[in-house]
Structure 1
Amino acid sequence: MKLAMVINVYIDTKINKKNKFDHPTDFDNFENENTFVKTIASINKLRKTEDDLSLYIFAVAAGEDRSHDQEIKKKINKILRKSSYPYYLFTNSDVKQLNDYAKSRFFSVSGYPEIRNLGLIIPSLLNEDIIIQIDDDELLRKDYLMTLKRILKDNPDKYLFTAPYEKNGTTEINNKDSLKSWRKFYSMQKDMNRLMKDQSLKETLFGFGGNMIIRNELAENSLYPSGVPRGEDFSYLLANRLIYENGNPEAGIEKKNEIYKAYFSPLKELTIIHEPPAEAKSNFLFYLEKNLKRFIMEWSIFNKQDNLSVSELKNLSYYLAEMFGYDDFKSKLLDIIEEVKVNYDSKTAENFEKEILSFYDQCSKINRFELYKKDQSDYIDFLDNWKDNNEFRELLLSFKINRN
């Protein structure tokens, strides 16, 4: 079996300029601040199976900046000298090269979901069987691969798995909610209580992008919804479930196709140790804005389909239902905005209100579910068109570096 472990490394080359990433590593201080070196060390300690494991590293500078890519490659390669596994390394410039060659919008580093899609596309084109997506601030336990292989063998009819984060020694989400009207952490922990109550696999829409396991059959037939500012992991699970419930005739996908269902494994061996360099919510209002925009986008895809009800959504994820499961979502947003007005000065609150309501108005006019289904159809066609192109395959293989 061929395994691809995809690791995204986010880098800030313009430290004083706001960017889309939650906590990118400062380029100028990369050697001292990066968490990638610990991630690679944990991978090197994995108990090996007889399977072929390759690493796929996407070292992405914020803002699609390509001016430091050669230096970024040197920094990443220096760490990967100690890798026990062969690896592929892609920077923004490399993705641009692939885009120029294939003339495809799917080769993009414009945001989190677009970068995640690269981690589906390239391993799929290189015929990897299993794709494991993690980030550069996550550590794997030594039995991760052995446990993963057992779960895959025991569940040949399941194609998408998620598993927990452990942070500060616990998988519980202990953060306190800053707003009574927006119970993000409370609702996440409510999901975790259900998912962690025993050792069984459970159907879910709850997952962390840094711990996603995807069979090739699904990776070739689904993609992350574009444009989501954060939480792309949940957006991916939601989009897949909506395809399961509704089908996608344009892509030849019938309703109730089992490959689009996701399962959560609570096993400790699959639980990733999460050591982020900084908290994404350190600037709370910016964090809230990104999240509300994300949930507006998820509401606008959920609200345009017919076959998954709010009550069914709630059974799969109380968290997602709490965040956007409303017929009148605008009223919910206004409740949150009113609480922001109490806690922030009038000018800041006014700008926040304008930004959120303007974004809501834009999204409410768009049928994001139809757009996603069109993207999915185009994505499947794109992979079909390029899968057997030997010249393009050789180009992708040119990014591989073998290790002894």
Structure 2
Amino acid sequence: MVIPSYWTREIKDGVRAGDAVYDHPTPLDEDGTLLRALQSLDIPEDKDFQVVVIAAATAVDIEDRVEEKVAGIIEKASRTADVDIKLFSQSHLGEIHGLLQSRGMDEYVPLLQLSGYSNIRNLCLFIPHILGSDLAVLIDDDEVFEDTQFIEKAKEFIGSVVGDRTVHAVAGYYLQPDGDNRTIKKRSPWMEYWGQYKVMDEGFDRIIWTEPRLKETPFVFGGNMVIHRELFTVVPFDPDVSRGEDIDYL
């Protein structure tokens, strides 16, 4: 299981030119949601998996502080966790870059980066690969586990043959705090003209809440995907896609 966690400058420092742009990175002077996510790993009954947290900074000059911050959160979560939680950050990526360069494989260095959604999603595939994992389970750090059977469900169809096709990837959904999956409850008037959230909710209702459980889908959530080794070792996320990398991967 790989959980990317995005961090930015302290609130008083704001955003500077050249900083990477993410939806909601956590300021360094706040606690964020990562600890809550890691503590909820106690919920799934199946504990036969490793967790790697990817610490992503919005700027080079805060990378060391981000690594230290996330390491502290992992240390705190590990006191009570029944699963092995590891950290992957810029210092670890630097070691991998050095190893590639020492073996004359410099051309691969640009493919492994800790900036941009697609690059970080590719690290979510690369890390399970070097760990020898059969599955990569991608989870976001603002989610919590509530289903005791989550791991069993995540592995239920992956790698199996359904009909005449092998299932190499599955995507799940997540619920809002009120137990619903709809996007935004209170909408501004302009949203009705844009229509994005209305169409998304209609699609969710048509795909998520209908039988059978396993079906082809026109959308996926990057924060709840399971990808088999036979797929993630041959198909990466497109590093040139700055946003919507999960839909592009589909």
CA distance in 1, matches of 2:55, 2:135: 21
1:236 aligns with 2:249: yes
Equivalent residue number for residue 206 of structure 2? 194
**Residue in structure 1 matching 2:229, options 195, 199, 216:** 216
Equivalent residue number for residue 103 of structure 2? none
**Letter paired with 2:96:** L
**Letter paired with 2:3:** I
Matched position secondary structure for 1:60: strand
CA distance in 2, matches of 1:215, 1:35: 27
**Residue in structure 1 matching 2:65, options 61, 64, 68:** 68
Matched position secondary structure for 1:108: coil
| Higher share of residues assigned helix | 1
**RMSD, matched Cα:** 2.2
Equivalent residue number for residue 144 of structure 2? 139
**Letter paired with 1:110:** S
CA distance in 2, matches of 1:163, 1:189: 15
Q: Give the TM-score of the pair, scaled to structure 1.
A: 0.52
**Residue in structure 1 matching 2:4, options 2, 8, 16:** 8
CA distance in 2, matches of 1:183, 1:69: 37
Matched position secondary structure for 2:148: coil
Unaligned runs of 5+ in 2: 101-105
**Letter paired with 1:211:** N
**Letter paired with 1:120:** L
CA distance in 2, matches of 1:113, 1:24: 16
Report the alpha carbon displacement of residue 125 of structure 1 after superposing the two structures with TM. 2.1
CA distance in 2, matches of 1:7, 1:186: 29
**Letter paired with 2:25:** P
Unaligned runs of 5+ in 1: 238-404
CA distance in 1, matches of 2:75, 2:116: 23
Report the alpha carbon displacement of residue 181 of structure 1 after superposing the two structures with TM. 5.0
CA distance in 1, matches of 2:151, 2:202: 28
Change (3 A) 1:41 1:188: same
Deviations along 1:197-244, one digit per CA (max 9) or x if unpaired, are 42312212311111011001001011111143332211211xxxxxxx
1:204 aligns with 2:232: no
Equivalent residue number for residue 100 of structure 1? 98
Change (3 A) 1:180 1:39: closer
Equivalent residue number for residue 76 of structure 2? 78
CA distance in 2, matches of 1:94, 1:88: 11
CA distance in 2, matches of 1:70, 1:128: 24
Report the alpha carbon displacement of residue 94 of structure 1 after superposing the two structures with TM. 1.8
**What pairs with 1:169-188 in structure 2 (closer than 5 Å)?**
169-175=179-185, 176=187, 178-179=190-191, 181-188=193-200
Q: Is the 1:42–1:142 contact (alpha carbons within 8 Å) kept by the matching residues of 2? A: no
Report the alpha carbon displacement of residue 182 of structure 1 after superposing the two structures with TM. 2.7
CA distance in 2, matches of 1:146, 1:54: 15
CA distance in 2, matches of 1:41, 1:144: 15
Report the alpha carbon displacement of residue 185 of structure 1 after superposing the two structures with TM. 0.8
1:57 aligns with 2:53: yes
CA distance in 1, matches of 2:87, 2:153: 27
Change (3 A) 1:126 1:180: same
**Letter paired with 2:85:** Y
Change (3 A) 1:197 1:60: closer
CA distance in 1, matches of 2:232, 2:81: 26
Q: Percent identity?
A: 29
Q: Is the 2:55–2:67 contact (alpha carbons within 8 Å) kept by the matching residues of 1? A: no
Equivalent residue number for residue 398 of structure 1? none
CA distance in 1, matches of 2:50, 2:73: 19
Report the alpha carbon displacement of residue 62 of structure 1 after superposing the two structures with TM. 1.4
CA distance in 1, matches of 2:198, 2:161: 31
**Letter paired with 2:55:** A
**Letter paired with 1:25:** T
